[in-house]
Structure 1
Amino acid sequence: MPTAVPNYYVAPWGMEKIVMYFKERYNNMPMYITENGYAQDDKNGVSKKELLNDMERVEYMRSYVTSLAISMRKGADVRGYFVWSLIDNFEWLYGYTLRFGLYHVDYDTLERTPKLSADWYKQFLNNPRC
């Protein structure tokens, strides 16, 4: 499934595949997964309500974390996982037209509002079985 970033697709099976490749290729060296996340398009008049109800990001994160957990059960020494961005921010190639954060930022007022994904991630960290 495509995302708002050209040539970026949702492919959670790739998480397990690349982690297992590094496990085998580099003798299970400790790994940290950084900047894994989902981009929302914000250039075509998407409402704040739609941006806050980011179910696609929740499904993305759930599927990728599940794939990562499978790798860890197979012995991969993964020591950390970080989402792409905690808050919406400026992206070098796309400016403010894409949103990666778990918190919506109103760029006029700088007000920060948790998205559905922030609530899901908080629940996941408190109970990884959700």
Structure 2
Amino acid sequence: MIQLYTNEKKLIEKAAAGDRKAQKHLYDKHASRMLSVCRQYVSPVELAEELMLNGFFKVFTKLDSFSHQGSFEGWVRRIMVRECIDYLRKKDPFKYSSSIDEEKEPACMDEDTDDDIDMNVLQQAIDGLPVGYKTVFVMYAI
């Protein structure tokens, strides 16, 4: 097991020095898992692949900053997640309002409207959310 870690450390060092074969080996080793990570944030495979490739570009340009303190896969995973989140923020940024309209209460706060909620429409809206947002929504809805 120690030998494998040493080999990966040497492989990372070679890739950081610009060795294309070492970079390809690291890419081949981690690409399928990183594509799965990206697919958790975006549904279309083509978009997930594009984000993954952008993430690997960042991995290889910042490889010399990897400190070997944690796992390499975890470090790469964090880069992929950040790449996906940055994309989602640019695509549809949250809009916050500093003023609250006190005259209108949200429909969910009015007790009389509970019967008027179409659960199918609500479920479709939840299904349209990215995976991370579904979890947050479900947590607050409960």
| Interval of TM-score (by shorter of Structure 1 and Structure 2) | under 0.3
TM-score (norm 1): 0.24
Higher relative contact order (CA 8 A, sep 6+): 1
Structure with the higher fraction of residues in helix conformation: 2
